[in-house]
Amino acid sequence: MQGNCLDITRRGMAVLIRERIPLGTHVHLREKELQLIGMAVVRNQLEQRGWYRTGLEFCGALLTPQEVLNRLQNVGVENGQQAD
């Protein structure tokens, strides 16, 4: 689902979305303009006139697609696999 970022810090972000997400749910994040990818967990949610102000806590760093690929290649090398 798409949402609007209201606030962002090093540890998490607040977003405005149309759907309720249960607390504790892990979500995948993808920001198109800055091309960042990451994971977060829903920590709080407040309904405001049909929208949900949702607090997300990051599960590690937000990465660029290239950083994700680099990490995947390094995992393959560490596990004795050949990197392409």
Print pLDDT tens along the chain (84 aa). 999 999 999 899 999 999 999 999 999 998 888 788 999 999 999 999 999 999 999 998 888 888 888 888 877 655 555 544
Q: Does the residue 8 lie in any domain?
A: yes
**Residue corresponding to tokens 């149309």:** 18
Q: Does the residue 64 lie in any domain?
A: yes
Q: State how many domains the chain has.
A: 1
Q: Which tokens in the block code for residue 82?
A: 């050949």
Note the pTM of the prediction, 2 decimals. 0.78
76/1 Cα distance (integer angstroms): 31
Q: Does the residue 84 lie in any domain?
A: no
CB 26 within 8 A of CB 58: no
56/38 Cα distance (integer angstroms): 11
